[in-house]
Amino acid sequence: MAEAREAGPEAAGDGAAEERVAVIGATVPTGFEVTAAAEVQEKLGSASRISRDRGKIYFEVPARSLPEVHRLRSVDNLFVVVEEFKDYQFKETKEDALKDLEDLVKKLPWADPLKIWELNNSLKKKKTKRKKQNLQRTASKEKLDDGGEEEKDHRAAGGQEDCAPNTAGAEPAADQSAEEMQGEASQNEEDDNEQSEAKNKLHASSGAETKAGDDNKDEGDAKVLKFRVTCNRAGDKHSFTSNEAARDFGGAVQEHFQWKADMTNFDVEVLLNIHNNEVVVGIALTEESLHRRNITHFGPTTLRSTLAYGMLRLCDPQPTDIIVDPMCGTGAIPIEGAMEWPGCYHIAGDNNPQAVKRAASNICSLLKKNENKESSASLGAPLDIIQWDICNLPLRTGSVDVIVTDMPFGKRIGSKKKNWDLYPACLMEMGRICTPGTGRAVLLTQDKKCFAKALSRLGHIWRKNHTVWVNVGGLHAAVYLLKRTWERVEEKRSFW
């Protein structure tokens, strides 16, 4: 309780709070932990520790760097670490193990992490206020333009969601989120692990002295902090479920702080991450995953922007590079590329006119969103979208530096059977347009067998340098970094 009072609203403007060092935990696309750590090192100068729990990294930063932390491109969700136990000894029986978790609550050092959380809130409030103003301006402009996108799926409105109030339900863990986006599987591969999130189901009275929400909901108890606990558990040696852990840990949190439990309209989300014997308690700093930054018009297999960033980063884009996504779908990769590497020229295409339309709409929405910002994106995007067939690209031989694409897995898009013809044809045509000797390609697929066969046939054009194993929507997929050999490829036909 004492800690809750310490985390009073004055912390937001507290200079000392800004100097505090925060241990930040970040969920990242599984497989891209090293890439995310490299980004943290480059942009924040902090070394990261990669967790045994795949898909997470930890790093320390001064609290004043929180805005930069939120601008990281590889991270899905952020939290401030309250305490980490590398080798937590769970008692054998369920009752004992849960009792220990309950008892843990009052021993944890909550005060500093809660100050970081408050500071984070004050930054968010400023940002939301700016965004609301920008949106109002854009909305009134739109009325004048009568522009309207022709097609918006149910998430399109949510595309402006980073301006939306605190939504119901926690953001799923990184992998679950990918599943929703990629939609290619319904079952997580780690069947024996319980990675679902669970929320404590408590209804309690109030009493704490702070309130973090930025709206006027529930004015009557405006000073009551509402919270929920989300537990992610993986490992087969626990005697309890994530639901039980969240319920009992949540009960103790409520008792300790006298906060009010609210599953949907919460101010504080306490995270309890249990991975075998590793236990991390944290407080969420993001309300929704940061991977949703660019896309407003979703398709059946839209890639997360964070994964797109990781793929682009793997091929080390250089200023003036020409980067092509020949199967761009809704444009997640080229849009991320154009935003993050504006010194490169990005070309993208797809054979499906619907996909091309969606990609174009995504670019328009993003440009509109950035209209009022003083960013390079407000000047336009170095990106063109074309309808084409990957087997017959209207690009000159050897004219492209980098290819980054997310190939049809043969589940939602195309079929495994079609891939046997498509993959070798793709590799051949990509080999033709790519500069011999220096060109590189980063290709994502889950159809690894077909890809390996196609690559073995085209080994004279492409050399495999590196493979990153990723979890895309619960599917075990691979990202291949290929280097173009010096071998020339004959032009079989030409637009030129």
Q: Which is nearer to ligand SAM, 378 or 415 (CB)?
A: 415
Q: How far is the CB of 331 from ligand SAM (least distance, A)?
A: 6
Closest CA to 440 of 401, 488, 479, 393: 401
Which CB atom, from 331 or from 439, has the smaller least distance to ligand SAM? Answer: 331
Non-local (6+) Cβ contacts of 103 within 8 A are 252
Nearer to ligand SAM, 184 or 401 (CB): 184
Nearest residue (CB) to ligand SAM, 90 versus 298: 298
Task: Indicate left, alpha or beta for 410 from its phi (over 0: left) and psi (-120 to 50: alpha).
Answer: left
Give the interface with ligand SAM as residue ranges (CB under 6 A).
299, 301-303, 327-330, 332-333, 350-352, 355, 389-391, 406, 408, 413-414
Q: How far is the CB of 298 from ligand SAM (least distance, A)?
A: 8
State the minimum distance, in angstroms, from the CB of residue 406 to ligand SAM: 4
Q: Note the Cα 356 to chain centre separation in Å.
A: 23
- Nearest CA-CA partner of 408 in 396, 395, 421, 397: 421
CB of 302 to ligand SAM, least distance (A): 4
* In the complex, least distance from residue 444 CB atom to ligand SAM, rounded to whole angstroms: 8
Q: How far is the CB of 337 from ligand SAM (least distance, A)?
A: 12
Q: Residue 23 or residue 332: which is nearer to ligand SAM going by CB? A: 332
Q: Which is nearer to ligand SAM, 261 or 413 (CB)?
A: 413
Residue nearest to ligand SAM (CB): 329
CA pair distance 6, 2, nearest whole angstrom: 6
Q: What distance in Å separates the CA atoms of residue 93 and residue 237, rounded to the nearest whole number?
A: 11
Which contiguous run of DSSP H or E holds residue 18?
helix 15-19
Least CB distance to ligand SAM at residue 295 (A) = 7
Distance CA 207, CA 235 (A): 36
Strand partners, 280: 84, 273
DSSP state of 55: T
- The DSSP H or E segment spanning 231 is strand 226-234
CB of 276 or CB of 351, closer to ligand SAM? 351
Of the pair 251, 408, the CB lying nearest ligand SAM is at 408
CB of 36 to ligand SAM, least distance (A): 19
The per-residue DSSP string of 363-422 comes to HHHHHHHHTTS-SGGGG--SEEEEE--GGG-SS-TT-BSEEEEE---SSSSS-HHHHHHH
